[in-house]
Structures are given as structure tokens and as C-alpha cells.
Structure 1
């Protein structure tokens, strides 16, 4: 069995009133990371379509991100962290799940609950969801999930939801192979499409992401150590913050790269950060359907990236609008960067192709597919 396109891609059936109450339930409503960005982008897109959104988090985030004003309510169940595993934790989960039940019971017929992270599903599973459509999502590749404790939780908690959604057909098929016959897929929407792309004249390579092991900034520094001597007039600009920053800065110094690496910190102006570069690099050990790659391509940057997930090789068409390297092969990634940095004509051609090709993930199309899924699952 394979993931079925028609369940998501098919024509949308007209309802008497297609507007729905939609609950987006995540670990936190404002934690750093792509899931939060995706949740609030989808909440805004669906709100603009007339749906009534409510974004729910289980716990407060340790390092919240600034969201600004949002046109929908947000709820966080806990004031702190839940108890450690044991009887007290189970009792606590059931007690907090009653708050979810109260929210769900107040919803109009046809309501949908989208659980964006499997940890949050433990609370949704204890709530009363009768009469509601429940969708469970995995925002990482099957392979990356398989290497973590989330793998067994996905198999346990998502087995009986109305639809388990991966981000690519390849990942959905792998979940079906694990017995989740309810699996299908839907890609992320393009976060933005700037009117003004990068001129690709700055001699700068840009990286954007958390300073965390998953993002592989340590491997990026190893890669840059091979590239920098060939291009002494180029800079590597690393945008992001995180728990690994001190360790990474020390590694940068040890590699003798302080003269060519700029630590930019977190940015609230992603389009501006991307326009200030000519090439984008992503060195992640694992991803789902990375928003940063899409943002860079929308800004007209050719990308060099580790082929760490089906979502990466679906977004980047290797040799056409970017260049891919085997995961962890810093020498190969260095050669890909060197190719792009050495040839402005190639950068321009690939950058323009990237800007055109990434528009297949236009938000209007992705929202149409979500609404089609809502209608399909309600029948």
C-alpha cells in the first residue's frame, strides 16, 4: 500500500458551509522552531479563509519567540511543566485533558483537531474528541523519527487518528510500512515570496537555523574550513541562536575561521538576511520539509544542502536549482559550495530557477489541499 494522492490532492467538494472550527495543538504555542512557524502560518491562512482557529500548547516554552498580535485565541494548558512519568503524571494529563474537552465540546459540527507534534497527542488522546476529525502530524522525516523516541510514540498515538500526515509521499509510504495505514502526506506552504529577490552580488554564504545538533552547524564549520581558503574574500553568515552556541564558537576559533565567519544571532528579518547573501547552505543532520530552504529559494538564492530527508530532495532539484551532498560528507558539501561561489552565472541561473520552482508550494494551493482533506475525512 502507498500513500494516496487523491486523499489530499483531489478536487474539493463544496459544502453548505465549508468554514470550520480548527484546533492546532502543539507542545507549546511559541517555542522556537519550524513547527511553531508552520502552526501560526497555517492559522493565519485558515483564518483568512473564514475558519475559526484556536492554537493550543501543552506547556509554556522555555525560550519563547515573539509572535506579535495574532487574529485567533491561544491557550496553554500548564503554567509550568507536567510531573515526571508515574501516577501523578497520568492523573495530571487526564486533568489537563479536561480543558481540551471543554474547548472541543464548544466547537461547531465539522470541527478538526490538528496535532502537530506527537508529544501533544498524549493529551489529545485523553480528551473527548467524539464527532471531531483528528489529524496527527510528523514534521520530521521518517528516518530522523526512527532514530528517536518519537518513532514508537508515533506508532502508538497516531495509529487510530483519522489521518496521520507526513510531509512527503516517501515518508508516508514508510509509515504505512509500519502499519499506519491511515498515513498520507501534505507539504509545508511557502512561508513568503519577497517582491525583491537577492541580487546575488554580496560575497556571502548564509545559514539560518537554531544552533542545535540537528542543524549540523559543527559540520558546516568543518565544511567552511575547506572552502574559505579558496575564497578569502567571502563570508559565512550564521543566523540563529541556541544551546550549542558557545561550543560552536570555540570550534570556529579552533579551526581558524574567526576572520571569515560572522555570528549574526537570531533575526526577525529573514528576507533581509537572505537578500544580503548570494548562496544559502543547509547542513542539517535531519529535517522534515525545511522552511529555511523554501525561504532561501523564494529569495532567489541557490542552495547547497545535505540530502538528509525526502523533503530536502523534493524542494531542491539537484543540479537545476541547487546542489545536494550526502549527509555528513563535508568534503562533498564544500565542493558544492565552491561550485556556486566560483561561478556567478551559475548562481544567477540556479537562483532564478529556484525562485520559480518553489512557487509550486504557494500557500493558496496548500490551503486548498488542506480544505480538501477536511471535506474528505468528514464524509
Structure 2
């Protein structure tokens, strides 16, 4: 396999969250195979994670997060001085990318993990290198955001645009893009010991925000806990909605059966201490935490809110899926698993087997095969 210079360019180098974790893992996996990897962030992270001593180089273009692109005043348009100053600052930062790219060996690959970062890559000289863009969210979630038009604008001419699933890739093709592929995320952890599924604990792990739908989970838990007393819902995570969620928990009378456990640095340990995992998100891309739960032998209950969710969880095989936002259905699925030890065990064992599809070495092989294909 050809050893290459590989650049990851994203909003931040080490932001705590799904994209940041994916980027760090893939950079390590490719560096371990002998590639020379550089991770470039546009701005410093809001919530940085500790990278330790990574086997890759890191660069950040700005010391402080740059302001958003100003809206041109109607009469001036692109000639608006504020717009011109902003673009000049962007070009200066993009020139640093050009310097990095020009120093790379032939056959280098530039992987742009987020569309905001692509705005700078588009201003840099990438001549002679392959550029791969990525969208780390479902098509439907992106379509509802300001990123939708920017993905179509900035990624239309890259060598390959990767969605997380074939279903999402097909949706982007329907928008007129003809450079689509898909690449699932690798399994983030390969734990030595799976859960024994003996604790009466349902775990939830994620940011306490509106998108993650913990408010919906509490509504579902009010029904499930009543039908299966003695179980605990353990919610791991922090976020802007925490105070509101704690109040909702109290209003529902759930304080005795809900444990707000805070952020955890030991996800495998949290999962091994549970027997069921639940995800109640309003939107997702390719949720790594579902993979982590399955790799720990924990059956999952989740809202079927994105193609990435049903790509990971096989309904009635290794987990149970509820219609998005349907808290009664989510509660019913939880009760099924909480009340049936045999079902928990059979689905948990199948989850262990299913998770192997996303083995890190297998996914890294797919990346290297893509690099070779694009070089032909």
C-alpha cells in the first residue's frame, strides 16, 4: 500500500464531539499504517479534548475563532468593505494551507471533514492532490440547516463527497451532485469485556441539548419506569439543557429512578454497567455511541431518526427502533427489554457480532482502497 501525506481539515483539531473523535481516531489509524498525517483546524476548540502525544502533526489557522461572514449591504454587494476585509483575512489563512499542501509528497490526500472548513480549502491551492469532502450528518438534518446550500456549493467539485450511508449518498445525488460515495465510521472502541447485562440500568450517553432529545427520553421513562419498577435510567453528559432537564425530571416525579451522572471519560465502563442503551435524538448522522454500546454487548433502543441509525441497529435483530419522536413506542421498546432477560441476552450477543462490520481495520482498508481508486 502506498504511503501518503494525508491532511484532515476540520473546524477544530480536537473538539470534543462526534466529528472530533472520528477525526482523531482515523488520523491515528492511518498514521499507524505509515502515512504522514496532519490534522488542521480552522479555529481553536470550544471544548477541547486531550490528544496526549498523537502520532500526527496538528495545525490551527486562527488563534481565535474568526467572525462569521458579514452580509453585504444591498447597494454595495461584494464591494462592501466589511465583506472585502473578511475575504482578505480568509485568503491570508488559506495561504497557510497552500504552504502545507505544496510541501506534501505527490499523491497526497486532503480530507475535509466539515463544510465550514471547506470554505478555506476552496481558497487554497490544492493542485495535484485529491480532495475528499465529508458530511457527518444525515441528509435530512443537513437539509434543515444553513449547511445544505453550502455543501452543494463548496463540495460540488471535490474528487469525492462522502456521506455516512448509501441512503444519504443517494439523496445527495438527487440534488444534482455526481461525485458521491459513502463511508461509515469505524467502531470507536473494542472492549475486552462486554456487559454481563445483569444490572437494572438503562444508559444514555450524549450532550444534554435539544437535538439529543433527553426531554423526550424522560417522557418515555415516566411510562417505562412505572411498568418496570426497580430500574434506573442513568444519563451521562453535560450541556446547556441540563437545568431544564433536571426540572422536567422532578416535575415528572422521576428523581428516584433517574441518575444524572455527568460527563464520563470511561464510556466502556459506563456501558458495561448497563443492560440496555437508549438514544432519543431528534437528529443524528452516524452515532458512534450506538456502535460503542453494541460493541459492549448492550442492546439498543433508539429513535429511527436517520439512515445512520438503522444502518447500525437492526430492528428486532440486535436492538429496537421507534418512530422519531414517538415516546410511547420508545417506552414500549424499553419495557420489552427491561422485562425480558432472554431477549436482552440474545439481542446483546447479536449486537456484539453486528458491531464487527465496523471494525477499525476494515474501515481503514476501505479508506486506503478509496485513495488508490482516486489516484488512477
Report the TM-score, using the length of structure 2 for normalisation: 0.95
What secondary structure does 1:143 align onto?
helix
> What does 1:54-73 align with in structure 2 at a 5 Å threshold?
54-73=38-57
Distance in 2, Cα, partners of 1:271 & 1:190:
12
> What does 1:1-379 align with in structure 2 at a 5 Å threshold?
18-85=2-69, 86-379=83-376
Report the TM-score, using the length of structure 1 for normalisation: 0.94
Partner of 2:73: none
Distance in 2, Cα, partners of 1:211 & 1:117:
22
What secondary structure does 1:237 align onto?
strand
Q: CA deviation at 1:236?
A: 0.5
Distance in 2, Cα, partners of 1:264 & 1:319:
29
Q: CA deviation at 1:330?
A: 0.5
Q: Which runs of 4+ in 1 moved over 3 A?
A: none
Partner of 1:5: none
Unaligned runs of 5+ in 2: 70-82
Aligned residues: 363
Distance in 2, Cα, partners of 1:327 & 1:295:
21
Q: CA deviation at 1:87?
A: 2.6
The answer to whether the Cα contact below 8 Å between 1:212 and 1:242 also exists between their aligned partners in 2 is yes
Larger mean CA deviation between 367-376 and 222-231 belongs to 222-231
CA RMSD in angstroms comes to 0.9
Q: CA deviation digits over 1:264-294, x for unaligned, max 9? A: 1111111000000000000011111110000
Q: CA deviation digits over 1:119-174, x for unaligned, max 9? A: 11001100110001000000111011111111111000000000000010000010
What secondary structure does 2:67 align onto?
coil
Q: CA deviation at 1:68?
A: 2.1
| Structure with bigger RCO (C-alpha 8 Å, 6+ apart) | 1
Distance in 1, Cα, partners of 2:318 & 2:18:
23
